[in-house]
Amino acid sequence: FVWMIYFTCGKQTISPKKTEKNVLFIIADDLRPSLGCYGDTLAKSPNIDQLASKSQTFLNAFAQQAVCAPSRTSLLTSRRPDTTRVYDFGSYWRVQSGNYTTLPQYFKSNGYLTMSVGKVFHPGIASNHTDDYPYSWSIPAYHPTSFIFEKKKMCKGEDGKLHANLLCAVNVTEQPGGILPDMESTDEAVRLLKTRVSDDTPFFLAVGFHKPHIPFRIPQEYLSLYPIDNMTLALDPDVPILLPPVAYNPWTDVRKREDVQKLNISFPYGPIPKDFQLRIRQHYYAAVSYMDSQVGRLLSALDELGLANNTVVVFTSDHGWSLGEHGEWAKYSNFDVATRVPLIFYVPNVHYAKWPTFRVYLPFLTENMVELVDIFPTLSYMSGLIAPEPCPDFSFQEELCTEGDNLDAEKVAFSQYPRPADTPQENSDLPDLKDIKVMGYSVRCWYYRYTLWLGFNPKTFQVGIQASHLPGKHENSLSLFCSAVCLGLRIRLH
Ligand SMILES: *[C@@H]1O[C@H](CO)[C@@H](O)[C@H](O)[C@H]1NC(C)=O
Ligand SMILES: *[C@@H]1O[C@H](CO)[C@@H](O)[C@H](O)[C@H]1NC(C)=O
Ligand SMILES: *[C@@H]1O[C@H](CO)[C@@H](O)[C@H](O)[C@H]1NC(C)=O
Ligand SMILES: *[C@@H]1O[C@H](CO)[C@@H](O)[C@H](O)[C@H]1NC(C)=O
Ligand SMILES: *[C@@H]1O[C@H](CO)[C@@H](O)[C@H](O)[C@H]1NC(C)=O
Ligand SMILES: *[C@@H]1O[C@H](CO)[C@@H](O)[C@H](O)[C@H]1NC(C)=O
Nearest CA to ligand 2 atom 1: 128
pLDDT value, residue 14: 38
Question: What pLDDT score does 471 carry?
Answer: 46
Query: Hey, whose CA ends up nearest to atom 12 of ligand 3?
Result: 171
Residue 477 has what pLDDT?
54
Pocket test for ligand 6, best of 309, 311, 347, 349 (most atoms within 8 A of CB): 309
Provide the angle, in degrees to the nearest 10, between the axes of the packed helices 68-77 and 375-383: 40
Write out 65-110 in H/E/C secondary structure: CCCHHHHHHHHHHCCCHHHHCCCCCCCCHHHHCCCCCCHHHHHHHC
Ligand 2 close to Cβ of residue 128 (< 6 A) = yes
Identify residue 312 by its one-letter amino acid code: V
Span between the terminal Cα atoms of the chain, in Å: 26
Cα(370)–Cα(61) distance, integer angstroms: 5
DSSP 182-239: HHHHHHHHHHHHHHHTT--S-EEEEEE--TTSSSEEEEGGGGGGS-GGG----SS-S-
Beginning with the edge strand found earlier in the chain, give each strand of the sheet holding 448-457 in spatial order: 413-419, 438-445, 448-457, 462-463
Q: For residue 299, how far is its CA from the centre of ligand 1 (angstroms)?
A: 35
Q: What was the pLDDT predicted at 482?
A: 60
The catalytic site residues sit at 68, 122
Is the pTM higher than 0.85? yes
Q: Ligand 1 centroid to 394 CA: how many Å?
A: 19
81 C-alpha to ligand 1 centroid (Å): 20
Question: May I ask the CATH architecture of the domain 22-411?
Answer: 3-Layer(aba) Sandwich (3.40)
SS3 of 490, please?
helix
Mutate to test the pocket of ligand 1, among 99, 107, 108, 135 (most ligand atoms within 8 A of CB): 99
Per-residue pLDDT of the chain (494 residues; tens, 9 = 90+): 222 233 333 333 333 345 789 999 999 999 999 999 999 999 999 999 999 988 888 889 999 999 999 999 999 999 999 999 999 999 999 999 999 999 999 999 999 999 999 999 999 999 999 999 999 999 999 999 999 999 999 999 889 999 999 999 999 999 999 999 999 999 999 999 999 999 999 999 999 999 999 999 999 999 999 999 999 999 999 999 999 999 999 999 999 999 999 999 999 999 999 999 999 999 999 999 999 999 999 999 999 999 999 999 999 999 999 999 999 999 999 999 999 999 999 988 765 543 333 343 333 224 578 999 999 999 999 899 999 999 998 899 999 999 998 877 778 899 999 999 999 999 999 999 999 999 999 999 877 898 999 999 999 999 885 444 444 443 455 555 665 555 554 443 33
Contact 283, 223 (CB under 8 A): yes
What single string gives the DSSP state of each residue in 230-290? G----SS-S--TT--GGG----HHHHHSHHHHTT-PPTTT-PPPHHHHHHHHHHHHHHHHH
Give residue ranges with CB within 6 A of ligand 4: 225, 227, 230
Within 8 A by CB and 6+ apart from 482, the residues are 412, 443, 445, 450
